[in-house]
Amino acid sequence: MAFENCTKLQDIYLEWDNNPERYIAEDAFAGVPTTSCRVHIPKGFEEKYGWKSDATDMKWYGFSIIPNQYSVVAKTNDLAMGNVSRSINGDLAYGTEVTLTANPVDGYHLVKWTDEKGDSLSAVNSYTFFVAGDTVVQAHFAKSSYHVTLPAAENGRTEIADGKSDYAYRDTVRVKASPDYGYHFVKWTDAGGDSLSSDTLFTFILTRDTTIQAHFAKSYQVSLSAGKNGTITSGEGKYAYDTQVEVKAEADENYHLAKWVNAAGDSLSDANPYKFVVKGDTVLTAIFAIDRYLIAIDATEGGQALGGEYYDYGTLVAMEAVPDSGYVFTGWMAGNSFNILISDRRKLSFVLTGKEYKAYRAVFAKEPLTGFQTLLGVNGAAQAYYADGALHLVNLEGCFISVSTITGEKVLQFKAGDTEYPAALPAGIYILNAAGGRGRYVAKLVVK
């Protein structure tokens, strides 16, 4: 063993960057006195040998490790603002505990401690650390009282809310802007012209002498008026240039907004609400018009329907059904499927309220061959009518009866025996055909 029983060995110098213990036998230093022999390890590699900077009395194979010396510098950003209680500018042993205390001059305060790179270490006046290498610690001081300046502003006034102009570090400051008549507040900017806020009441934390400028600009008036049969509901007022404005009007019942016009009477839009960008003083008038409705009419085969067009609210709607030769008019129908009987009169008229059906159909049917007549060989006049949920038949016994809608859909078919035939018919117009051995009878039934 190279060092076994070397009783006079006083210093061991290790040149490995990493701890070489695994390469050295456990009894390599047997007999070497651990009280007088010391170990030296490479500078900057203490932790590789297991020595943390806050640990004490580190050993290697039982020998004391001699701490390396490192440069430690403590300084301030400006001695006129404050100093550090432990002035260090020299070497200290690895693992040495160091406490620095910042002592600001009256009117100043410690902002922070930083390292050589400028990275923050602490904001507490007393800063403690263990030497782990070459170290530079700097105390940064700053004024404890700062001034807020509000330069005069054109077209408006500014003020500090609490009336002060000098504040302590990190105090809250509120400034207020009030535009003159015809102007509006735009924004606050700093001394460099950078925007800070668009709020008239601006709150900020003071960390340095600060100058804040208020900016005002001319406002433009948007004036609104309503024509007859409506009102303005929103949008009038003063606006900044290039601001998008939304104006809205409300029409009276049975009227609607027809258009917005400018001061020259030019049409601008029929939108409600109407949006536009303010470029100057603006005058708008809302024009209203009475509601109009399209009354659409058509006809089945066998005739014409006259009168369908646009009608204003409150005007008289008139329509007429004109049957072709060989056809008869059976009724005006409406509803989603034209299944609701409105009238069986050829001429239909009503005052438009907007609540009526908007589509009507004139229904025609072929005219009976013999009209409403007595069947050959039957005593008395033939007759058919509907009442109390039943078909009532007169002088039609033994005839084959069929009942169809006016569109031709057959709903009943039977041979007449009794004078009454129970039948639940929905409201509408029906055509009854009765055929006997020597004649035919046709009748129109109106079920209400």
Residues 101 and 62 in one domain: no
Within this chain, do residues 281 and 311 fall inside the same structural domain, yes or no? Answer: no
- Based on the fold, state whether residues 284 and 228 are members of the same structural domain: yes
Q: Is residue 50 part of a domain?
A: yes
pLDDT tens per residue, range 411-440: 998 988 878 899 999 988 888 888 776 567
Q: Which domain holds residue 322?
A: 293-366
Same domain, 98 and 58: no
Could you tell me if residue 13 is inside a domain? yes
Over the stretch 175-230, which tens digit does the pLDDT of each residue have? 999 999 888 899 999 999 999 999 999 999 998 899 999 999 888 999 999 999 99
Residue ending a domain, choose from 304, 334, 366: 366
pLDDT digits (tens, 9 = 90+) for 6-37: 878 888 888 877 777 666 777 778 888 888 88
Domain-terminating residue out of 264, 290, 316: 290
d(CA 196, CA 212): 9
Q: Give the number of domains in the chain.
A: 5
The CATH number that applies at residue 418 is: 2.60.40.3080
Confidence of residue 369 (pLDDT cuts 50, 70, 90): very low
> Does residue 37 sit within a domain?
yes
In this predicted model, what pLDDT tens digit does every residue of 75-122 receive, in sequence order?
Answer: 999 999 999 997 676 799 998 999 999 999 988 899 999 999 999 999
